[in-house]
Chains A and B, each alone.
Chain A
Amino acid sequence: MPGPLALVIWYIGIVLEITFVVCSIARKSFFRYLFLNAYFLLELGSSAGRYFFLSRFGQASAEYTYAYFYTDALLTLALYVALISLYARVFGELRLNNFVRYAAVLLLLATALFSYAVVAQSEQRLATGFAYELSQNLYFVGLVLTYILWGAVLKLRETRTRLVQFILALGLYFSGYAASYALVNLASKYSVVSFIGPALGCLLPLMWTVTMLRHSEESRLEPARLLAVAR
């Protein structure tokens, strides 16, 4: 079993995910943000599965590794769908939903094809390598997509506070992971970097829960004011 700090981070993450789903139901927004809730519900399910393998086989076991990366690929797909659902909400008023869906499916296929091309030469287990590579690549695709969406929010002067906060939180989450990706490369010998990933995993449910609690669906703001232009 992992150390107490890793377990505390894990439990905090689970509590925050449950809190987001409960808040969504209490605020009558569960179906409005169905894909965000579905992501956290799937994450809770995978947490249970991962705990089973971790407690039974240990953190260094191949069983836990495979369980972790197969569930992670599913979760990344769910997060991608959640991100596309935010796209659909932003571009819904422009009646570009069909274009968004078409582009999203095309992008997913292209990423899967690219990931397969990367691992196809591997002599080891292809399915596991593919799940791992697809998951990693989709994160970076998600990062770029989130920043494009933020640009669209500014351009379209989107005023729905919840939607804007959800997108900003997602941007921070992806950016944090990208920064940790670089940090682990630079300082992988320090054990503290192994806690950064799980701690960042708590960030998204925390920010989305705060957004759900603090803002109602009717809340409005002007994101253009966030851009301070010195003249």
Chain B
Amino acid sequence: MSRKLAALALVLAILVSSMGLKTVLSGGHAGSAVMIANGPEPLPKPPLK
């Protein structure tokens, strides 16, 4: 049980730090018209923008 709770706490900490990092790097407006994508293909315009 404690191991499962530890995993849950770890997961939440990782998620919060990842989204925090994303927000910091996007200058405080996450979801702006920039993207990160796999592979060397030419980038299209992001959807929903």
- Which residues of A come within 8 Å of B, CB atoms? 2, 6, 9-10, 12-14, 43, 46-47, 50-51, 54, 59-60, 64-66, 68-69, 72, 75-76, 79, 99, 102-103, 106-107, 110-111, 114, 118-119, 122, 124-125, 128-129, 132-133, 135-137, 139-141, 143-145, 148, 177-178, 180-182, 184-186, 188, 194, 197-199, 201-202
Asked if A13 contacts B39 (CB within 8 A), the reply is: yes
Which secondary structure characterizes the binding site on chain A?
Answer: helix
Whether A185 contacts B39 by the Cβ 8 Å rule is no
Give B17's nearest chain A residue, CB to CB.
A144
Could you pull out 13 A-B pairs where Cβ atoms are within 8 angstroms?
A13-B40, A59-B42, A76-B38, A102-B4, A106-B7, A119-B48, A133-B31, A137-B19, A140-B18, A181-B36, A182-B26, A186-B27, A194-B43
Q: Which listed residue (A65, A72, A184) contacts B34, Cβ 8 A?
A: A184
A203 to B11, CA, bound (A): 28
State whether the Cβ of B35 lies closer than 8 Å to any Cβ in chain A.
yes
Bound Cα distance from A132 to B31, whole angstroms: 10
Contact A201 B27 (CB under 8 A): no
Asked whether A54 and B42 contact (CB < 8 A) given A102-B7, A132-B48, A178-B21, the answer is yes
Told that A182-B26, A198-B42 touch, could you supply 9 new A-B pairs with CB distance under 8 A?
Answer: A59-B42, A79-B38, A132-B48, A141-B15, A144-B21, A181-B22, A182-B27, A188-B33, A201-B37
**Alpha-carbon distance between A99 and B18 when the two chains are bound, in angstroms:** 21
- Taking each of B14, B27, B44, which has the highest tally of chain A beta carbons within 10 Å of its own beta carbon? B44
Residues on the B chain within 8 Å of A2, using CB: 42
- Check if A188 sits within 8 Å of B11, measured CB to CB: no
